[in-house]
Amino acid sequence: MTVLEQPGAYRPTPPPGWQPRVDAAPLLPDAEPYRLLGTAAAADISPDLLTRLHRELVRGRRYNAQATALTRQGRLAVYPSSTGQEACQVAAGLVLEDRDWLFPSYRDTLAAVARGLDPVDALTLLRGDWHSGYDPHAHRVAPLCTPLATQLPHAVGLAHAARLKGDDVVALALVGDGGTSEGDFHEALNFAAVWHAPVVFLVQNNGFAISVPLAKQTAAPSLAHKAVGYGMPGRLVDGNDVAAVHQVLTEAVRRARGGGGPTLVEAVTYRIDAHTNADDATRYRPDSEVEAWRAHDPIALLEDAMRDRHLLDDEGVRAARESAERLAADLRERMHQDPVLDPMALFEHVYADRTGQLREQAAQLRAELDAEAADSGTATDSGKGER
């Protein structure tokens, strides 16, 4: 007698009464990325919204360029540019209410700035000065997350806790296509769906996880299709169409806030610059591919659509660029100022109450700093005496 022949043994064929828990059809993404600019529906977009989106896109492009230049000048240790992905970043920064939370990855400094974070504070972590550089609770922006996808379970936990408390809060978590290959991604989506948590996942599919193309990470029809396996809707959107990204995210946030549960949004975009300033992207992608995506530039797409509706002219473009230059000049000036750092701040914001080990380490560092200061003072005094 085999194992399957024993009474009560598991059999791979489900019983006749088996039915799926939910209908999968409404959860499936569209066959093609959703687009809004250049379609008849674009006429219904608020002119004020388009103007704001345009201003933020132009400022974001200049912010990326200035931050990249700061790495060459030694003012930043590293900078992962989001040039080409500004539409995803700007839309993510603008769709949330003040009470909501943004959970960015390391590449999402622009999203944090669009949400209102000081541009210098957004770069402090990359400068190596602080653990984060800003108060996450004050800004409702979680620390920029360098480990891939670890911010996603945190976003689910916060959203679930808010729901249990009865708070009207939504969490928007950003991740790259490479992050979807991490276990944290799958765990976060599973918990979010089971708990019906008010969280939105935005996957910025920019084609590469550093040098690994998407085709070597997954065989799924799209990353948005992964949502179905967890029981949440998947949306596929043109990540360079800022109006489309903003609309899809707005709908997902509204659904989450209304008790509809989580949504997975895949924005198809492209990383024009290298992975970071330390990367040589020419080793794994041809220039022709980059140039093809430049023709689908998010700023140009929006400007063409706004000009067609007579919402933008040369003067409007010039005003947006001048605003961006003022942002870059302020960023450049403040980043060239050497920060005044207190080594003892290393022990701040680690735990609410310091552990015994941290207290011991802090006391040891304080003793070393006091001894160094005393030695410097003695040397100065003796030098004065000799003179």
What positions carry a catalytic annotation? Answer: 271, 275, 284
Which two three-digit tokens encode residue 236? 């596929």
Contact 55, 322 (CB under 8 A): no
User: 176 has which bridge partners?
Assistant: 204
SS (H, E, C) the chain: CCHHHCCCCCCCCCCCCCCCCCCCHHHCCCCCCECCCCCHHHHHCCHHHHHHHHHHHHHHHHHHHHHHHHHHCCCCCCCCCCCCCHHHHHHHHHCCCCCCEEECECCCHHHHHHCCCCHHHHHHHHHCCCCCCCCHHHHCECCCECCCCCHHHHHHHHHHHHHHHCCCCCEEEEEEHHHHHCHHHHHHHHHHHHHCCCEEEEEEECCEECCEEHHHCCCCCCCHHHHHHHCCCEEEEECCCHHHHHHHHHHHHHHHHCCCCCEEEEEECCCCCCCCCCCCHHHCCCHHHHHHHHCCCHHHHHHHHHHHCCCCCHHHHHHHHHHHHHHHHHHHHHHCCCCCCCHHHHHCCCCCCCCHHHHHHHHHHHHHHHHHHHHHHHHHHHHHHHC
Rounded Cα distance, 264 and 200, in Å: 6
Long-range contacts of 150-154, Cβ-Cβ distance < 8 Å, separation of 24 or more? 150/182, 150/184, 151/103, 151/104, 151/105, 151/175, 152/103, 152/179, 152/184, 152/185, 152/187, 152/188, 152/189, 152/201, 153/184, 153/187, 153/188, 153/191, 154/103
